[in-house]
């Protein structure tokens, strides 16, 4: 069921039941249970950003200083949440390694990415430095999750 919904969230319970040869009531109940358990969080359309003036993608690595300008202490999580509040930002991840955060940004053009970094990102208290990587071409981008065999075998 989850594999089918990931491929096409517009499928009805009836269509899914036909594809997996299961009673519609069973399929409907399983879908409802997965929604209640928050296994299925949302149903969405995947838009083509390049056709909507958001065709430029950047990944930004950021370091957090943990000390604010007025000598207070700030956590990665607080800085990450501030960054996540900007509409241009699609993803913010707290990571390990030389950098503290990884940010995925969509914008209309390279200039817009630069303006975001200079006018918004670098003004955040606790943000120490950034490294911006522009995407030339996206080979694969998906929201699908590979399901463990024990789940797929049960038609969940």
| Fold annotation for 49-134 | Alpha-Beta Plaits (3.30.70)
pLDDT score, position 49:
85
pLDDT, tens digit, 9 for 90 and up, residues 101-141:
999 999 999 999 999 999 999 999 999 999 999 999 999 99
Does 156 have pLDDT greater than 90? no
Q: 3-state secondary structure string, the chain?
A: CHHHHHHCCCCCHHHHHHHHCCCHHHHHHHHHHHHHCCCCCCCCCCCCHHHCCCCEEEEEEEEECCECCCCCECCHHHHHHHHHCCCCEEEEEECCCCCCEEEEEEECCHHHHHHHHHHCHHHCCCEEEEEEEECCCCCCCCCCCCCCHHHHCCCC
Q: Sketch the domain layout of the chain as residue ranges.
A: 2-45, 49-134
In this structure, the strands spanning 56-64 and 127-134 are: antiparallel
pLDDT score, position 92:
99
Q: Which residues of 71-91 are buried (b: 16+ CB within 10 A; e: fewer)?
A: eeebebeebbebbeeeebbee
Per CATH, the number for 2-45 is: 1.10.10.10
Does 95 have pLDDT greater than 70? yes
pLDDT, tens digit, 9 for 90 and up, residues 6-40:
999 999 999 999 999 999 999 999 999 999 999 99
pLDDT, tens digit, 9 for 90 and up, residues 43-91:
988 888 888 888 899 999 999 998 777 768 889 999 999 999 999 999 9
Token pair belonging to 144: 């699908």
Token pair belonging to 151: 């789940």
């Amino acid at each position: 069921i989850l594999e089918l919904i990931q491929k096409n969230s517009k499928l009805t319970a009836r269509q899914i039941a036909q594809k997996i040869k299961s009673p519609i009531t069973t399929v409907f109940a399983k879908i409802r249970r997965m929604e209640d358990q928050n296994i299925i969080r949302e149903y969405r359309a995947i838009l083509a950003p390049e056709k909507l003036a958001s065709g430029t993608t950047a990944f930004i690595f950021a370091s957090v200083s943990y000390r604010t300008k007025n000598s207070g202490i700030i956590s990665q999580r607080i800085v990450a949440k501030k960054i996540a509040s900007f509409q241009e930002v699609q993803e913010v991840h707290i990571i390990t390694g030389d950098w503290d955060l990884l940010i995925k940004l969509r914008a209309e053009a390279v200039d817009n990415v630069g303006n975001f970094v200079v006018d918004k990102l670098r003004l955040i208290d606790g943000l120490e430095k950034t490294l911006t990587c522009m995407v030339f071409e996206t080979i694969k981008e998906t929201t699908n999750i590979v399901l463990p065999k024990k789940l797929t075998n049960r038609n969940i």
